[in-house]
Every structure is written in C-alpha cells, then in structure tokens.
A and B are shown apart, each in its own frame.
Chain A
Amino acid sequence: MTVTAVSILLVLAGCSTDDPTAGTSGSPAASTGAGTGKQSKFFVQADYDKQLTLLDTTPTGPAGKPWEQALDPATVDTAKYKKPGPYKICFSNAGLNNPWRQVGFTTMQAEVDTHRDRISEFVHIDAEGKDQKQIADINDLLGKGCHALIVSPNTTATLTPAVEAACRKGLPVVVFDRGVDTTCPVTFINPIGGYGFGHVAAEFVTQQTKPGGKVLALRILPGVDVLETRWSAAKIAFDKAGVDVVGVEFTDGDPARTKKIVNDYIQRYGTIDGVWMDAGAVAAAAVEAFVDAGKPVPPINGEDQLDFLKLWKDKKLTAIAPTYPTYQWRTPVIAALKILDGQPVPNPWKLPQPVITQDNLDEYVDPTMPPLHYAMCGCTDLPDYPKRWK
C-alpha cells in the first residue's frame, strides 16, 4: 500500500514537469532540477560527503585483490578473540532471493573451500528474506558452538537486537553488505555504498544527456537503505544539474514491469533522453523497451550483471555500470579467520567499488558466463571457476 501511495506521489510530482514553466529550457546549470521529489529520510549528509571522498581514495592492501583491500582503514584489535583452529564458522544470510546474492554466496562458499585446512565446518542458514526468520536463525546459531558469526542482515533496524545478542555472547561478529544500528560487531564490511553508486550513475546520465532532456529514474522499491541512498545521491546530482526528471518509478526489480513502464514513458513523451536506475538487474529489460519500440537507446546505467554488459557491447550503448561488487562476499570469511588469529582488521572495512566504463568494458564481458552472473565477483581465481557459477 505504501509503495503504491509513494509511487503515485512521485509520479504526480514527476508530471508537474509537463508544465512548460518548469524551467527546463534556458541555462540548465543555473536552474534547479524538477521531478525528483523530496529528499529521502535515509539521507545523511556526512555519509554522503564521506562516500564521495572515498570514490577518489586509493585503497591499501594487495593490488588486484580488491576484496582484501580497504579504503581509509582504521584497524581494531582482536587479540581477545584469538583461538586455535580449526574453526566452525556460521553465517546467517538475509536471503538468496536475487541473482546478486546467488553469485555472492557461491563466491563465499568457494572462498571457504580455499581455507578447508582451517575451517572444519561452515554453517549457512538462509533467512529467505524474512526478518523474523533471521532473528530466530541467529538465536539458534548462538547455541551451536560457532567460533565466529557472519551476518548479512535482511533489514537494518529489525536485526540490530539479534546482532547485539550475538555480541553479548562474546562471539566475534562480522556484518557485511547491509548494516545494523550498533557498533558491537568486530567489523562491518561493505563497498563504498549507495551514495557512491547513485552519484556515479547520475553524473554520467546528466553529462551524456542533452540539456533539457527528459530523464526517467527507475527504482526497485522504497525503504531499503542501500537503494534509498543510491536515489538520494542521484537526486542531488539531478537537482544540481537542473535535469528534467519526468518520472521516478518503482519496478519491483521485475523485467516485465520495467519494460512496460519504460514503454509507457516512451509512448507518453515520444522519447526519453536518459535512464537512471538504482540497480542494474532489470537494465537489460529497459534497454529492450527502447529497441523494441524502434527508438535509440539513451544514455543509461546498469550494473555489472552480464546480460546488461553484453547488450552494452553488442548494441554499442552509451552506458556506465557503477557496481556493488559481489566480491565483498569473500571478505567476511577472510575477516573471520583474521579475527580468530588475533590479527587486527579494519573497521569499518570499506572495499573499493570499481566502475565499469566504455574503457574497461571488455575486461568484464565474458560471453561464456550466464546472463545473470555478476562480472565483479572477484571469483576467477577461486576453486571450480567457472563451473560453480554457471
């Protein structure tokens, strides 16, 4: 219901730009943007500033292994967790409910396999995208003799008490991907984050779209911090450049819905000059909508999912792919072992978040891998590549 209400509001807001007085002509740099609606409740200026700085920061750590690198790291002492191995490592997973998580989890299992001499048991529990199940899962794991607990939380606020309970047990806890509202885990691992993603994509679309052009923003759903921050950074970039955002629509991450929405906008406006997306899973569907309507594909962003990268190459699109790399699934395993060795680890552990551009596209397009694979998996050196990921 909320989704419906919010999207109606946003679309109504978007439609106000139909008004010729909305100021899309003239000097776009001076005018303010239109159609982007209110700033998200999730927006935190300091985090936004920090992430934009991190985009230009040189990482420390082994070259060519971004999953072991860290940006601007401050390390924490872990001597008190030192234990002799081999270890039982437990993982409470938010879900495997999209291809990004599938690729990530496959990568994580392969990483575990490279440490089989030190990890005697790896317990994985899938919360199937349900908060209540994950709270129960974590609670169950506390009695299972785990040496370390890795958590990828389903949602931030709801999972916080469960993670805190695990910390209180004296268990070293490693949180990655989405965060929790507590500093009790030993470390929190993720790439730069949503602001970085949204900003890079919006800057590209803005620069590649002619002044006064109509931009369509496609979001998955509201209320998820990673996605909200992607959109709020894009909103800032669009407002600053005075971009005419004709619509902000929720796609539910569904290709059929996406294709229909894009098709509707093409019909309504005759042409759309730029497409921004908060996630690339349905980018291929958006591109197809233009192709099937016989229109040129405008500047667009996706992410590192192979179906989009292949389309980009084949159709010579004007595109960019900011990423939220799946190689981050390797890092929690590495971190857990370091902690159990008593070695210091960075906290927060910020991983680099590379961008795929026209210049390095060829490095990432691999026609032999399945279309739903994510190129930035950092998995090519892991056991059983590529079979395991197919």
Chain B
Amino acid sequence: MRTARALHRLDLRSGSLAPIVAILVVLLILLTARQPDFLSPPSLMAFLGRSAPIVLLAAGQYFVIVSGELDLSVGSLVTAQVVVAARLIDGDPSAGWPVALLLFAFGVAVGLVNGLVTTRLGVPSFITTLGMFLILVGAVYLWSDGAPKGSLSEEFRRIGRSGIENVPVLERVPYALLVLLAVAALALLLTRSDFGRTLTAVGGNPRTAELSGVRVGRAKTLAFVLSALAATLAAILIGGYSGVSFQAGAGLEFGAITAAVLGGVALGGGRGSVVGAMLGALTLETLFTLMNFYGVSGALEPTVQGAIILLAVAAASFRLPSG
C-alpha cells in the first residue's frame, strides 16, 4: 500500500511540470499571435518584473500547501506591510533599510503565530490564517484610521519600480526580476534539502512522518514563516511598484493558491514542486495578459481563478483513484 502510494507520488512528481509548461507555451503562442511585440526582450522583462510579486507568493504558498496546510493571510500581510512601511518611512529616504528589516521581523512573527496556532493549538490552518487575515485588516484599519498615511520614499520604491538600465538587448532588467531569481534559486535549494523532503513527507502523510521521527509541527511552522517572508518581499516590490495603498494585497492569497494549484501542487499536500508553483503564477499572469489583449475585463480575473481552483482539484481527485 505504502509502496504503491510512494510510486504513485514519484510518478506524478516526475511528470508534474509537463502540463504547466504545455499550458504556458500555448498561452504564449496565443499571446504572440495577438501581440507579436510581447516576446520582445524589453516587453518580456517588464512582464517578468511585474509578475515577480505573485511568483514570490506562489513559491511561499508552495511550502505551506505541500506540507498540507493553506495560508490565507498573505494578501492582508502584504497590505499591512505596505501601509506600515509608508507610515514609518513617511518620505524619509534614509529610513528604507531599517524599515525593511522591521518588515521582515514582522513577517517572521506573523508566520510564527500562524504556524504555532496551527500546529500547537490544533486549529485548522484555513481558520488560523483566515483569523490572521481579519486581525491584520482590522489592526491596519485601526492604526491608520482607515486611510493610509505617510508615503514610501523614492529610494524605498526603487527596488519595485526600476531596474538596471541600458542592458544590451534586454534594455532594462527590473530589480524585481533579480530578487525573484535569487528567491527561486533559494527555494529550489530548500526543496532539495532535507527540510524540503521532510515537508513533502509531512504533507503526504503526517502520521507516517510523525511515526518516523519527523517533527511535523516544526516543519509546518517553518513553512508558514517562509510564506510570510515571501509576502514581505512581495510587499516591498508591490509598494515599490505602485506606492502606498490600502488594497495593495487584496486578493493575492487566492492568486498564490491558484498559481500553486495550476502548477500541479496538490491542495492537501504531499505533491508538487516549487518550480511548478512559480510557473503556475507566470501562467496565470500570462493568462490575464492574454485576456487583456482580447479585451476581456480584468474584473473577470477572480472568476477565472475560482474556476481554475475548482477544475484543478476536481481533476486531481478524478485522477487519484485511477492512478
């Protein structure tokens, strides 16, 4: 029984990137047919830079989902971080680094709370992170009287908004893309490490993992911390891209979950790869760009995300028994 499950898992994992790559290629072909410019290096660079935050969030969400949990608090964490950053920086160019460190510390704290409440108190992560979502939204509202105050300095915004200029062929390489590549490399290393394998085992079968001596609670808590750290980085990029906003992170948690599911990460845990989750995010962004080029309103994006989640979960449950 266990061998069968392991084989099944292996089988799926080895082939799990093929579908998402295929979808991405099809979307890119459709996109290029409509707008041949899209694949030109400068335009592609801008696209990748703009997509970096959601790709980061998808990577963070991967760790949580693969361990068998969900993190619904990342969108509100992004909003909170942007609003807090604006108020603390208040246009002061020299405040950027200290405030960024503070944001990371806050991110770690939120991740720890999510993880400990889920693992120690036994609250389902769906509820834990929903609670965190509400706490953060309410706290930010209370702290700021319902409207953002202060402003992000140009220096703080640079990392999300600009890049290395005058690069041959590419023209501009967004800093956001460099951040993304660095995080992707780190995430890949993490998934290949003992921790990564442990996490997958925990998500695949927590009971077995526990019996074989894995500290399930610690692994899951770390996953939540990683997700919160990814949200913090995303907040710095999003705040940089568009400035202070009370809705900076609205809906991002669903974007990240959709991306992960689209990239072959199984809701419920144990299956999928971080590269798949990140490719899922890129695919989702490509799909939205395609919708835009064909004149479909951006208002349909949540609907599309919802449909993807339902379809992906239905497809997975359809496949499992027969596999």
Contact = CB atoms under 8 A, between A and B. Distances in A.
B300 interface: yes
Contact of A18 (B248, B295, B297, B298): B295
A354 interface: no
Interface residues of A, number: 42
B12 interface: no
Contacts of B90: 370
Nearest to B243: A255
A12 B297 CA distance: 8
B242 A372 contact: no
Contact of B146 (A15, A96, A252): A96
Given A264-B298, A268-B295, A292-B161, A285 B242 contact: yes
A263 B250 CA distance: 19
B242 A8 contact: no
Interface in B8-41: 35
Interface residues of B, number: 34
A7 B298 CA distance: 9
Contact of A259 (B241, B295, B300): B241
Interface stretch (B148-156, B187-195, B211-219): B148-156
Contact of A256 (B91, B146, B241, B295): B241
B146 A254 contact: no
A12 B296 CA distance: 8
A315 to B, nearest CB: 14
Contacts of A293: 46
Contacts, number: 97
Interface in A275-311: 284-285, 288, 292-293, 307
Contacts of B146: 95-98, 128-129
B125 to A, nearest CB: 27
Nearest to A105: B145
Nearest to A99: B147
Given A7-B297, A97-B146, A370-B91, A254 B151 contact: no
Interface of B: 35, 46, 50, 90-91, 145-151, 161, 238, 241-248, 250, 289, 292-293, 295-300, 302-303
Q: List the 4 closest pairs (A to B, CB-CB), nearest first.
A: A256-B242, A97-B146, A11-B297, A15-B295
18 contacts: A7-B297, A8-B300, A11-B296, A97-B147, A102-B145, A102-B147, A129-B146, A254-B250, A255-B245, A256-B245, A259-B241, A264-B289, A264-B292, A267-B292, A268-B292, A292-B161, A370-B90, A370-B150
